[in-house]
Structure 1
Amino acid sequence: MKTKICLIGIGKIAVDQHVPAISGSDDWTLAATVSRVGTVDGVPSYTDFDQMLADHPDIPVISLCLPTVPRFEYAAKAMAAGRHVMLEKPPGATISEVHMLQAMAKDHGVSLFATWHSRAAVAVQPAKTWLADKSIKKAHITWKEDVRKWHPNQDWVFEPGGMGVFDPGINALSIITEILPFEMRLQSAILEFPTNRDTPIAAKMQWADNISGEFDWRQEGSESWDITLETDGGLAELKEGGARFFIDGVEQPVDGLDEYPALYKHMKTLVDSNTSDIDVRPLIQVADALTLGKRISTDAFAF
């Protein structure tokens, strides 16, 4: 029997990724949605989360797809009602929020999954395995895309808590914190803020151990979602957001579920075992950049 799940926040990411992943799963059935405006055909829809909880005590799992700032209250309310919770990335607007949610999950005896969808890309674990016994000489992240394409007219990404270019950039940070055989320590960052916005549109970061990164939301055309690592065993490259893995220019065979189906498969395992999976390391890197980074003003931005 499939497990019932409720999606909160029926926006672009829910429509593009979550709904298809749930619909194609043997583990889940989408039993309700909660959103100010979005709905899913054939699924009971609500605008009031409390009403959904009251009407559906039979739905044990809540998946939160809404922006980070309002997400904490929904997650806390869901767990207080005894529901397991799955969080879209990043798992919170602040690190302390995530720690609080982790404690709540333990107190209420429910599962909490702080997802990082790019970690579920098919080439990430093969890259991690290959790098495990290598000495890393140098590593570089190039993460550039067009905000108008991926977040059309979504002003919340430039509001406090929206994280700006780190909304996609945290995907790269989720990968590199997973595959490196050591912890990262940020040394410096340069953050470009549009004069009319509250979050950065571009960033350059430098970590210890010769690791660097460039993030930009102004790139038009094709995306650059790449991580290169020079090692004592050769050059490793993760391309297309972790979908492809190369060693010394030779593409390696990889296989597995797509990112969001893999996340929902893992969530089912967590619920069945009543365990949680929370890793704040990617969020820590963003917080470190915003704490340590030098702020530079750049041209005003409009969609």
Structure 2
Amino acid sequence: MPPIKIGIVGLGKIARDQHLPALAANPDFDLVAVASRNASQEGVASFATLEEMLEAMPELDAVSLCTPPTVRYGQARQALRAGKHVMLEKPPGATLSEVEDLAQLAESSPGSLFATWHSRYAPAVEPARQWLASRRIRKVHIEWKEDVRVWHPGQRWIWEPGGMGVFDPAINALSIVTAILPRRFFLHEGTLQFPENCQAPIAANLYFSDSQDTPITADLDFLQTGPQTWDIHIETDEGNLALRKGGSQMFVDDQLEHEAPEQEYPGLYARFAELVARRESDVDVAPLRHVADAFLLGRRETVAAFHDEG
């Protein structure tokens, strides 16, 4: 097959840090355009909007949407109706209903739809899933703490409705545990801390369990300074497993068992190329459903106002 002609929509930090390098290293893709209100990319056609890009470049095969989730539904629908393959940054949409509608549209469209969860492609995630498959899980604890000022400097959209606040990074943890645990699990209660000047939480504590009453807890924080914490601890009947550094390292009983260079976004684009070739879609909303449940069941606490400058 000739390279897939792809355009990026939303040329922000995540697109520049992850998408552009991954595309440059993948011969299955040819980046031919970007659409962004405030940025352009040297060497490719640049447009202010997706609509302009689609109108000017009918030869485009696919688009990768790196815009905030609150605007992604309309863009994805427009691209699918134009017959393009569509890749969605995480989270795939602002609501479950939006994503389900897009999945239905993709079924009758010539294009594929890929709702991505980049943390599932961290190098130790699949080894962890395989290790857990033959063991009885007794307890799970998620510790996901990072500094919003480092990862989302000045981005006010993340504190608005649909921006998700601390769940923007924490959904990465939920994407991992929904991939590696052998049974579905369900939220029972939680506490969400909302800054008095924000519409999204800055921290949360969640309590889940599965059909066998396995306790699964999550401690989430968007104000951690210094070293960042992206860890998942799992106690089993045959030892304890820990995924550290966002799934890049796997420890069993404190012994390093698996580690490899980070290849999350290259893995996403390799998977997208497969879906395009097969004209298939891959849309899993399980991580987003857990976030929606947290907003539905979580007790709301108001905390001090958040300011970007600290």
Instruction: Map Cα deviations across residues 117-151 of structure 1 (whole Å, 9 max, x no partner).
Output: 00010100000011011111000000000000000
- In the alignment of these two chains, the number of paired residues is 303
Q: Deviations over 1:160-210 (max 9, x none)?
A: 000000000000000001100000110101000000100000000001121
1:227 pairs with 2:228: no
Tell me how far 1:257 sits from its aligned partner: 6.5
Distance 2:182 2:117 in 1: 18
The aligned amino acid for 2:252 is: I
What secondary structure does 1:141 align onto? strand
List per-residue Cα deviations over 1:43-76 (Å, max 9, x = no partner): 1100032221122111110100000001000000
Correspondence for 1:15: 16
RMSD after superposition: 0.9
Return the alpha-carbon distance in structure 1 between the equivalents of residues 103 and 260 of structure 2. 32
Contact 1:126 1:254 in 2 (8 A): no
Whether 1:275 aligns to 2:280 is yes
Further displaced range: 102-111 or 47-56: 47-56
**1:253 is paired with a residue of what secondary structure?**
strand
Which of 217, 226, 245 matches 2:222? 217
Q: Is the 8 A contact 2:251 2:258 kept in 1?
A: no
Counterparts of residues 120-269 of structure 1 (less than 5 Å): 120-208=121-209, 209-255=214-260, 258-269=263-274
The equivalent of 1:46 in structure 2 is 47
Displacement of 1:212 after TM fit? 0.2
Number of the residue aligned with 1:24: 25
TM-score by length of 2: 0.96
Could you tell me how far apart the structure 2 residues matched to 1:256 and 1:10 are?
A: 25
Partner Cα distance (1:105, 1:257) in 2? 30
Q: Supply the distance in 1 between the matched residues of 2:258 and 2:91 (Cα, whole angstroms).
A: 29
Q: In structure 2, what residue type is equivalent to 1:40?
A: Q
Q: In the alignment, residue 37 of structure 2 is paired with which amino acid? A: R
Quote how far apart the aligned CAs of 1:42 are: 1.1
Q: Distance in 2 between matches of 1:120 and 1:256?
A: 11
Please give the alpha-carbon distance, in whole angstroms, between the structure 2 residues aligned to 1:287 and 1:2: 37
Three-state SS of the structure 2 residue aligned to 1:70 is helix
Task: Please name the residue that 1:33 is paired with.
Answer: 34
Which is further off, 210-219 or 103-112? 103-112
Distance 1:225 1:257, change over 3 A: closer
Unaligned runs of 5+ in 1: none
- Look up the equivalent residue of 1:76 and give its one-letter code: R
- My pick for the range that moved more, 48-57 or 269-278, is 48-57
Question: Which amino acid letter does the alignment assign opposite residue 142 of structure 2?
Answer: I
Whole-angstrom distance in 1 between the partners of 2:259 and 2:271: 19
Can you give the 5+ residue segments of structure 2 that lack an aligned partner in the other structure?
A: none
DSSP-derived class of the 2:114 partner: strand
Give secondary structure in 2 for the equivalent of 1:140.
strand
SS in 1 for 2:108: helix
Compare 187-196 and 252-261 and name the one that shifted more.
252-261
Deviates more, 1:64-73 or 1:20-29: 20-29
State the distance in 1 between where 2:31 and 2:170 align. 30
Aligned-partner residue type, residue 240 of structure 1: K
- How far off is 1:40 after superposition? 1.3
Tell me how far apart the structure 2 counterparts of residues 252 and 67 of structure 1 sit (CA, whole Å). Answer: 36
Deviations 1:241-269 (A, max 9, x none): 00000111111134476000000000000
Deviation at 1:107, TM superposition (A): 1.3
State the partner residue of 2:107. 106
1:289 matched to 2:302: no
- Contact 2:234–2:241 (CA under 8 A) maintained in structure 1: yes
Percent identity (aligned): 49
Deviation at residue 26 of structure 1 after TM alignment: 1.5
How does 1:46-85 map onto structure 2 within 5 Å? 46-85=47-86
| CA distance in 1: counterparts of 2:127 and 2:50, whole angstroms | 40
